């Protein structure tokens, strides 16, 4: 009896140790679809980003929103990106531009992030992803912080302002909708 208990306990321990060596799969909340530069500019303007404020970009892709927030607006900008190649590309561009003091990308799951610091959060995620992060935002955003969402609304939130932008960045005219929310 004692031998079988020890064998079972040993098997459980091996399974736990083996499991620690595996990377936990993080759910991707949206595909990478670059936001046109003109829309990036409008997102940051609509969000009333000011020099010295904190900005977070959720699902930062190639870092273009983070870079513009730091470069043109003088904000402290943090992007969150789980795709390793996009993370590496973004960080390389930030370094090449000498923006390390104002801009960075975190290779972090959004569901584990703290949203209490930013004054502005920009989002271009799928509607189901907005649904997933919405409770985290509601729980931790500080009074006066803003959210600008590209193309997809947050359910149950009333947009303070909505704007449409026509763009032909990819050779075909497309309308982008931006929603501004304020806590």
pLDDT at 174: 86
Q: Domains along the chain?
A: 37-182 (3.40.50.150)
Bridging pattern class, strands 54-58 and 103-106? unpaired
Q: How far apart are CA 86 and CA 63, in angstroms?
A: 8
Question: Pick the residue with more confidence: 28 or 108?
Answer: 108
pLDDT at 29: 64
Angle (nearest 5°) at CA 115 between 110 and 121: 85
pLDDT in tens, 17-33: 333 344 445 566 666 77
Confidence of residue 149 (pLDDT cuts 50, 70, 90): very high
């Amino acid at each position: 009896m004692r031998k079988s208990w020890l064998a079972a306990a040993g098997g459980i321990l091996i399974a736990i140790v083996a499991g620690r060596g595996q990377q936990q799969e993080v759910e991707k909340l949206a595909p990478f679809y670059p936001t046109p530069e003109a829309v990036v500019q409008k997102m940051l303007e609509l969000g009333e980003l000011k020099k010295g404020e904190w900005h977070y970009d959720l699902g930062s892709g190639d870092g273009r929103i983070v870079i513009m927030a730091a470069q043109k607006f003088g904000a402290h900008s943090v992007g969150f990106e789980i795709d390793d190649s996009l993370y590496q590309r973004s960080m390389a561009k930030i370094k090449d531009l000498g923006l390390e003091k104002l801009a960075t990308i975190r290779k972090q799951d959004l569901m584990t992030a703290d949203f209490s610091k930013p004054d502005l959060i920009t989002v271009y995620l799928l509607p189901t992803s907005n649904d997933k992060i919405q409770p985290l935002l509601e729980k931790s955003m500080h009074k006066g912080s803003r959210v600008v969402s590209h193309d997809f609304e947050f359910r149950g939130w009333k947009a303070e302002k909505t704007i449409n932008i026509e763009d032909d960045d990819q050779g075909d005219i497309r309308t982008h909708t931006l929603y501004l929310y304020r806590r």
